[in-house]
Structure 1
Amino acid sequence: MKIAIPIKNENIYQHFGMAAAFKIYDVENGQVASTKVEQTNGRGHGAMLDILLAENVNCVICGGIGDGAMQALKQADIKLYAGIDGVADEAVTSLLAGNLQSNLEAACSKHQHAHHGLCQHDNCGQHGDCHCDCGK
């Protein structure tokens, strides 16, 4: 299994499509066998998927992520754990122990915040009330 996490200073970066790097974990027999950092230069959502596919990633742990990126990961059959924050290594440890849970509402909220509060109802409305400051 290969796990990718968008990072900044070893912490989970909170906007998937703007991350400057992914930390990629190669997992064998339930343990991290190796890690590497793949620079993305914040190239955007589409380029992020290309990097993940080139690295044969089958699981992503991230903070904020928009609906388009979520759908692209789903179509690529990449398991997503979203709405996660904290230290990247600790999130992987939690995942391998079976304790990591996605929080899609938090992922959407963090994604909205990353876009400076601009409302994108097609991204957040499906998870409940809008989290931006548009009043909807």
Structure 2
Amino acid sequence: MKIAVPYENGNIFPHFGRTVQFKLYEVENGQVTATRILGTHGQGHGALAGLLEQTGVDVLICGGIGGGAQAALSTVGIRLYGGVSGPADQAVQDLLAGTLAYDPAVHCDHHGQEHGQHNCHSEEKHGCAGNGGCGR
């Protein structure tokens, strides 16, 4: 199994469509056997599903993610665990242990707004719904 996590400075990057890199985890028999960093090459949002599919990813752990990207991931058969924050390595270990806390209804619907003004870390949610909707 191959797991991808939007990645920045050891943590889960909070907005799937704006990540510049993923940390990839190769898993065999419930154990991580290898990791590597994959750059997104400037791709964003729904296009990232194709990048992950080409890389052979089976599972994505992320923070906030829009409906279009969720649909694209579903279309290519990638299982989604959204609304997760914190250290990427710990999230993968929690998933493997069956203890990952995630939000099955996670979404971020700010896409009608200018991305440069959106801040998933601000106290105003700018249309991001749900606990952890933008990776908070």
> What letter is aligned with 2:96?
L
Is contact 1:4–1:57 with CA below 8 Å preserved after alignment? yes
For 2:70 and 2:44, how far apart are their aligned partners in 1? Answer: 13
Q: CA deviation at 1:49?
A: 1.3
Name the counterpart of 1:79.
79
Q: Deviations over 1:10-54 (max 9, x none)?
A: 100011011010000000010000000001144212331121011
Name the counterpart of 1:68.
68
Could you tell me the TM-score, scaled by structure 2's length?
Answer: 0.78
Higher helix content, 1 or 2: 1
RMSD of aligned Cα (Å)? 2.5
Any stretches of 5+ residues in structure 1 without a counterpart? 132-136
> What letter is aligned with 2:35?
T
Identity rate of aligned residues, in percent? 46
Q: CA deviation at 1:88?
A: 0.2
Q: Deviations over 1:74-105 (max 9, x none)?
A: 11111100000000000000000001143145
Could you tell me the TM-score, scaled by structure 1's length?
Answer: 0.78
Is contact 1:4–1:60 with CA below 8 Å preserved after alignment? yes
What is the SS of the residue equivalent to 2:46?
Answer: helix
